[in-house]
Structure 1
Amino acid sequence: MQIESHVLDKVNEWLTPTFDEHTQAAIREMMASNPKELEESFYKNLEFGTGGMRGVMGVGTNRINKYTLGKNTQGLSDYLIKSFPGEALKVAIAYDCRHNSDTLAKVVADVFSANGIHVYLFSEMRPTPELSFALKHLNCHAGIVLTASHNPPEYNGYKVYWQDGGQLVPPQDGEIIQVIEALNYADIRFEANDNLIEYIDTAIDEAFVASTLANASFNTPKEAREGLKIVYTSLHGTSIKAIPYVLTAAGYTDLNIVKEQAEPNGDFPTVKSPNPEEPEALTMALALANEIGADIVVGTDPDSDRLGVAVRNTNNELVLLNGNQTMVIMTAYLLEQWKRAGKINGKQFIGSTIVSTPMMLELAAAYDVECKVGLTGFKWIAKFIKDFPELQFIGGGEESFGFMVGDAVRDKDAVGATLLVCEIAAQAKASGSSLYQELLNLYVDHGFYKEHLISLTKKGISGLQEIYQMMVDLRENPVAEINGQRVVCIEDYQTSKGRDIMNGSEFDITIPKSNVLIYYLEDGSKICARPSGTEPKIKFYFSVNAPVLSLDEIDLVEAELDQKIKNIIAAMQLH
């Protein structure tokens, strides 16, 4: 096959003495036997997306390896030195269970230390939210987590956190990228100063557990906690380092761990995908729960920032909740707790994202707090906390199974969220209700909101082009009607413009630019199209709603909403 000249230029650079012999040998092997893989490895540079940088591990500019991460770290070091002149710089580094995470974390630590920056490096894998906590706890200037979240085993990644404990946001992200891109690989300082690398573990763990207990427990009676039967799985990931300790410390004595998935393992051998968004990932946990009659199932992804929850419905059957449902349950509970404590005075807010359920806006209005809505990714919710210090953050989430309780952690936190959802379930059970019943009550009070996600995977160069063309078609040929309902408004976050179709007026969108398109229909339905920032996918989010006058109507209304979603998907010919 013909390889383009700009790709060959990169390949030839990586065959110079700047790169080690092992790397050069791997490149020569690809040149001889797999030119397509060579092109995939070098045709672009890995970029920062909504969750940092993620990619397949291997050699090349489009892969995760010591050189791409070393270049990032060198650029970040240069930026930190420029941004905080004269300060004794400190960074914290954590990593997950993935292959090479520990060695890549050490490479990153080496580069920081070679640049005179003090490094706090976790001695073993730890949950991502603990890194966000540790960064603030230790007064660091920045932090790094080596993780690819729930991506397949061949992936790894690099997430950058700033002083506030949140992920990088504008303008820092763009400025740092410019510094990185201006570097040559020969500029990377790999020679570690071991005197500047300090290993951390137990003391930070204890502080993190204490903080979680303070933020996510709500005076649940001892008998109620002991009466909740929990099944928990870490899906071979890092939450095993924190969640059992947090739940035990809180007083939950009936905790049943899925043993086959408790051992951290980057191959994730018992699941197709270690993603609690996928029902299959919780198969073993659900089986154990049915075997022992558990009340609730919780499963977390490899770096412990997302959680999947299953609870018993009104027929005593275990059902999986989606991310919007768990977010609504937890947010409503927090709002009610704040209200009862007399802490709501108009200076509080909750957080959500443009692709998450509009029901969050209904909850905010009912409790007289603001709901700040940002782009996909918890870094935007963390940015709200930083940008509005005069407001108190109660909690918030996004549809992709992430939630954050308070502001001690500035990223989605499955550790705190697991404790919170168990608190709600324990209190509900003790009062003769259930977590599922509490969700149904919310639908009666605020309207039944039903969401659905279709995620289309398009791999490689051709897949990237196909996703690009799909978004172009949606913009250049906007849909006027879907499922018999007129489109009344279109929001284009790439142009920062919205259009009211009914009166022809345009309005500005103040949220930062992003490749997202949202259609609103006259019946209140909402359809969002968005290419993923971390995976080779394009995602379509659907939200429909209807009023519910009583619990007796729930099944009928849900069936109607399910059918409406199916009709919309068919009308848009999404397969």
Structure 2
Amino acid sequence: MVDIQTAISQLETAAAEGNLSTGAVENIHNWLTEPYLEEYAPLVAEHLASGSWKQLDDAFWTVVPFGTGGRRGKMYPIGCNAINDRTIGESAQGLADYVKEHVTGKPLGCAIAYDTRHRSRHFAELCAQIMAAAGFTVHFLDGYRSTPELSFTVRHFGCACGIMITASHNPPSDNAVKVYWSTGGQLLPPHDAQSIQRMKQVTWIKRIAFAEAFEEDKIVYCQDGVDAAFFQNVLTQSIDGPRDLKIIYSPLHGVGASAVPPVLNAAGFQDVEVFALHATPDPDFPNVPDHVANPENPAVFDVIIQRACEIGAELILATDPDCDRLGCAAPISTEPVSNEPSAPWATLTGNQIGALLADFLLDTRQASGTLTPDHYVVKTLVTSELLRRVADAYAVRTIGNLLVGFKWIGGAMDQYGPELFVFGAE
């Protein structure tokens, strides 16, 4: 039995001695006294009794913020400034409440997926329990799946919303919840700000046991059918051309092996090696520099380039842990230089990859006679102006200077029409 008064006295003493910030004191007091936070009070009291001031201040000094697509931060079992059952639960409950207020007259569905991070499966099941208790049918991707596949699943089943548990390329200590609207894109105005308000207002969180909800078909495993439909949808974007290319692909210990090799093989790229050192899903990302699996970091490619030189590969592709960010490397010459045994390699920046892909797609459409001045590419504020110049060279529109986040690119596609969309990059 927790002695709340003793814990409060310890909190007041810590505040008087300057061991905790003002924000932390206020938030800790709430976690000790609010009935809907009762399950966390014993662990909070334990931290107070042991004088764990740094851990308490880090976990409670503020509320973990909502970013461009959700809430992301360091995991810790207690605290409003950490990713844990309470903050993830608030996000799911607030999303459920908001969707039910704004989507009426039809059955409600929610798609849920998760990556290879610590506790991702746990948080995904927690969200499923909350959404099922709120009356949603949960389409649950059982097993590690990519963020693009989660987006597809939302549209495939006509869901009202979706949830992805991933902290993308953050360190192993982090996790996050990303929320999606019925479009398959992350929430745009006014839904983003309004749903955040609902999340902040959450007190009691209602759940149904996962096994019970599964037995009652309130949670449905859907990965087998969705995988096939997703792959087929991606393959419709494929363009004919040479396929005799030797590729090394790295998922950087993330989910990418569930999507990239199958699609490449189905598209006709038969010589694809999954880089063994990064192939195993691992939440600690042990074999990448500093344990940060970011394919935009050139150092990630050093060890893969060594393997590429050994086997004569011609292209390296790497994706981040939730497989929505791409990096690549390629030889910059067909011949060795100086006394090197193989040709030198270089990594490409995101801006370079975007410009090359845009040029290829625009050139292909122009050659086929299907490119018009009404077609368009999309960029954000952080995207190189080179993308606009490439589009100008083909006399097509650029929808540019959007805010950061792929949700804004998706919003532009909804606004200007997907049938005229050529390419988008951040």
User: Counterpart of 1:100?
Assistant: 119
User: Equivalent of 2:382, from 342, 351, 355?
Assistant: 355
Instruction: Tell whether 2:74 aligns with 1:56.
Output: yes
Shift of 1:5: 4.2
Given candidates 97, 110, 114, the residue that maps to 1:91 is: 110
The within-5 A match list for 1:381-400 is 381-389=409-417, 392-398=420-426
The CA RMSD over aligned residues, in Å, is: 1.6
Q: Does 1:203 align with 2:221?
A: no
Q: After superposition, where does 1:154-233 map in structure 2 within 5 Å?
A: 154-184=173-203, 187-192=204-209, 194=213, 195=216, 196-215=218-237, 217-220=238-241, 224-225=242-243, 227-233=244-250
| C-alpha distance in 1 between matches for 2:283 and 2:161 | 26
The residue number in structure 1 matching 2:7 is none
Contact 1:349/1:391 (8 A) holds in 2: no
For 1:158, what is the secondary structure of its paired residue? strand
CA distance in 2, matches of 1:235, 1:7: 36
Shift of 1:13: 2.5
Q: Check if 1:340 corresponds to 2:367.
A: yes
Using the alignment, how far apart are the partners of 1:137 and 1:212 within structure 2?
13
Gaps of 5+ in 2: 1-17, 336-342
Q: Is the 8 A contact 2:294 2:320 kept in 1?
A: yes
Offset of residue 363 of structure 1: 1.2
Whole-angstrom CA distance in 2 between matches of 1:112 and 1:12: 29
C-alpha displacement of 1:12: 2.6
Deviation at 1:341, TM superposition (A): 1.9
Residue matched to 2:320 = 301
| Per-residue CA distance 1:316-365 (angstroms, 9 max, x = gap) | 31110111101000011011111122222222111111111101111111
Q: Give distance in 2, aligned partners of 1:178 and 1:55.
A: 19
* Cα offsets for 1:82-113 (capped at 9, x unmatched): 10123211110010000000010000000011
Deviation digits for residues 450-494 of structure 1, max 9, x if unmatched? xxxxxxxxxxxxxxxxxxxxxxxxxxxxxxxxxxxxxxxxxxxxx
Report if the CA contact (8 A) 1:347-1:391 is conserved: no
Q: Aligned equivalents of 1:65 and 1:274: distance in 2?
A: 22
Inter-partner Cα distance in structure 1 for 2:224 and 2:345: 36
SS at 1:44's partner residue?
coil
SS in 2 for 1:394: strand
**51-60 or 376-385, larger mean C-alpha shift:** 51-60
Structure 1 residue 55: Cα displacement: 0.5
Counterpart mapping for 1:513-524 below 5 A: none
How many angstroms apart in 2 are the aligned matches of 1:391 and 1:204?
23
Alignment map for 1:262-273 (pairs within 5 Å): 262-271=279-288, 272=290, 273=292
Q: Aligned residue pairs: how many? A: 390
Instruction: Name the SS of the counterpart of 1:270 in structure 2.
Output: coil
Q: Kindly tell me: are residues 372 and 71 of structure 1, through their superposed partners in 2, closer, same or farther at Cα, counting changes over 3 Å?
A: same
Determine the C-alpha separation between the residues in 1 that align with 2:396 and 2:300.
36
1:278 aligned to which of 284, 289, 297: 297
Specify the code of the residue in structure 2 equivalent to 1:368.
A
2:273 matched to 1:256? yes
* 1:144 aligned to which of 147, 163, 172: 163
Match of 1:130 in 2: 149
Could you tell me which amino acid in structure 2 is paired with residue 377 of structure 1?
G
SS in 1 for 2:236: helix
SS of aligned partner of 1:15: helix
Deviation digits for residues 202-252 of structure 1 (CA, Å, limit 9, x no counterpart): 11101111111111x2112xxx31x21111111100001111111111121
Q: Percent identity?
A: 37
C-alpha distance in structure 2 between counterparts of 1:9 and 1:357, whole Å: 44
For 2:220, the aligned partner's letter is E
Which of the two has greater strand per residue?
A: 1
Is the Cα–Cα contact under 8 Å of residues 169 and 383 in structure 1 kept in the other structure? yes
- Give the aligned partner of residue 6 of structure 2: none
CA distances 1:431-460 after superposition (whole Å, capped 9, x unpaired): xxxxxxxxxxxxxxxxxxxxxxxxxxxxxx
Note if contact 1:94-1:105 (Cα within 8 Å) is conserved in structure 2: yes
Q: Distance in 1 between matches of 2:226 and 2:382?
A: 34
Please say if residues 235 and 300 of structure 1, whose CA atoms lie closer than 8 Å, have aligned partners that are also in contact: yes
Contact 2:31 2:38 in 1 (8 A): no
Match of 1:377 among 394, 405, 408: 405
- Cα drift, residue 20 of structure 1: 6.2
Is 2:41 aligned against 1:41? Answer: no
1:238 is the counterpart of 2:255: yes
